[in-house]
């Protein structure tokens, strides 16, 4: 029986905001995989990247993804932007019978607007030192990642939409898929 919703999307696509809103509306628990990793490792994501490198981070991300999926019930799980794009993570998510996956699809320009001022907090985009450089990086990165993101069972476009209407679309799509 499906009881978890897994939110997928690029950094800045609104996974956490939508996830928290949905959790309150549907009376579910909210779990952010990045927060979970930070708690388990006792370090901020930026420090994990700095101290151990990305390969170590991806290994831990996989381990904790599997753990979260296994242990969660009645939960909205917000993944990191890269989670579905490494190893067989997306297949693991799709195979999980307790979870339904939702891709929050956001345009390159909206992502750039949201991420530019807070890029220092995100190790993968911290190097972009102009809006143009960030736009170009996101465009390429999103192109590579789309193949994974678009395997999601539900895809919701988020540009220019309120969190409440994104959440409503997700709820309706889930009801349709589950024939409720």
**Which spans of this chain sit near ligand S3P (rule: CB under 6 A)?**
11, 34, 45, 80-82, 122-124
Of the candidates 36, 48, 39, 113, the residue with the CA atom closest to the CA atom of residue 75:
36
Instruction: Copy the structure tokens of residue 71.
Output: 């242990």
Closer Cβ to ligand S3P, 122 or 161, answer by number: 122
Owner of token pair 């978890």: 4
Task: Provide the minimum distance between the beta carbon of 175 and ligand S3P in the complex, in angstroms, as a whole number.
Answer: 27
Of the candidates 134, 90, 129, the residue with the CA atom closest to the CA atom of residue 112:
134
Task: Provide the minimum distance between the beta carbon of 106 and ligand S3P in the complex, in angstroms, as a whole number.
Answer: 11
Q: How far apart are CA 149 and CA 14, in angstroms?
A: 14
Task: Provide the minimum distance between the beta carbon of 29 and ligand S3P in the complex, in angstroms, as a whole number.
Answer: 18
Closer Cβ to ligand S3P, 72 or 80, answer by number: 80
Q: How far apart are CA 67 and CA 37, in angstroms?
A: 11
Closer Cβ to ligand S3P, 85 or 170, answer by number: 85
Closer Cβ to ligand S3P, 61 or 96, answer by number: 61
């Amino acid at each position: 029986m499906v009881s978890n919703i897994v939110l997928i999307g690029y950094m800045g696509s609104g996974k956490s905001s939508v996830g928290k809103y949905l959790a309150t509306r549907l009376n579910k628990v909210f779990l952010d995989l990045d927060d979970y990793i930070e708690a388990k490792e006792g370090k901020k994501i930026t420090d994990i990247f700095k101290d151990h490198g990305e390969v170590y981070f991806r290994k831990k991300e996989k381990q904790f993804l599997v753990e979260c999926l296994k242990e969660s019930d009645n939960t909205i799980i917000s993944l990191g932007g890269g989670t579905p794009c490494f190893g067989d993570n997306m297949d693991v998510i799709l195979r999980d019978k307790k979870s339904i996956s939702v891709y929050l699809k956001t345009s390159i320009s909206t992502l750039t607007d949201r991420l530019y001022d807070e890029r220092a907090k995100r190790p993968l985009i911290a190097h972009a030192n102009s809006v143009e450089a960030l736009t170009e990086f996101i465009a390429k990165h999103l192109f590579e990642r789309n193949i994974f993101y678009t395997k999601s069972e539900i895809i919701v476009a988020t540009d220019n939409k309120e969190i409440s209407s994104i959440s409503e679309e997700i709820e309706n799509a889930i009801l349709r898929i589950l024939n409720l």
